Chains A and B, each alone.
Chain A
Amino acid sequence: MLDLWFDYKDLWLSGLKVTASLTLLAILLGFVLALPIGVARARNRGLSGVLAYGYVIFFRGMPLLVLLFLVYYGAGEFSRDLRSLGLWWFFRDAYYCGLLALVLNTAAYQAEIIRGSLNGIPSSIREANAALNLTRWTAFRRVLFPIAIARALPGLGNEFILLLKATSLLAIITIFDLMGQARFIFSETFDLRAYYVAALHYLVLVLVLEWLLRRIERRNAWAA
Chain B
Amino acid sequence: MTAFAPFKLPCAVFLTASLALPAAAETLRIGTEGAYAPFNFVTEDGSLKGFDVDIGNALCMQMQVECEWSTHEWGGIIPALNAKKFDVMVASMAITEKRQEKVRFSSPYYFNAMRFAALKELELDTATPASLEGMVIGTQSGSVAVTVLQEYFPENEIKLYPKLGEALLDMESGRLDLVLESKFSIGDWMADGTDCCAFVGEDFLMDGTIGAGIAMRLEDEKLQTRIDDALAAIIANGTYDDIRAKYFGFDIRSQPRMVSDLFEG
Contact = CB atoms under 8 A, between A and B. Distances in A.
- The answer to whether A and B belong to the same complex is yes
A152 B141 CA distance: 41
Given A92-B175, A174-B159, A174-B160, A190 B169 contact: no
Interface of A: 73, 75-77, 79, 83, 88, 92, 94, 172, 174, 180, 183-184, 186-187, 190, 192
Contacts of A76: 169-170, 172-173, 175
Interface string B136-152: 00100110001000000
B78 A190 contact: yes
Given A94-B159, A183-B75, A190-B102, 8 more contacts: A79-B173, A94-B175, A174-B159, A180-B160, A187-B142, A190-B79, A190-B99, A190-B101
Q: How large is the interface on B (under 10, 10 to 19, 20 to 34, 35 or more residues)?
A: 20 to 34
B173 A187 contact: no
Question: Which 10 A-B pairs give the minimum distances between C-beta atoms?
Answer: A76-B173, A187-B142, A79-B173, A174-B159, A190-B102, A79-B174, A187-B141, A92-B175, A172-B162, A190-B78
A187 B75 contact: yes
A79 B169 CA distance: 11
Contacts of A88: 174
Nearest to B159: A174
A184 B75 CA distance: 9
Interface of B: 75, 78-79, 98-99, 101-102, 138, 141-142, 146, 159-162, 166, 169-170, 172-175
Nearest to A73: B169
A31 B265 CA distance: 57
Contacts of B160: 174, 180, 183-184
Contacts of A77: 173
A92 B162 CA distance: 18
B103 to A, nearest CB: 9
A11 to B, nearest CB: 12
A184 B173 CA distance: 24
B33 to A, nearest CB: 14
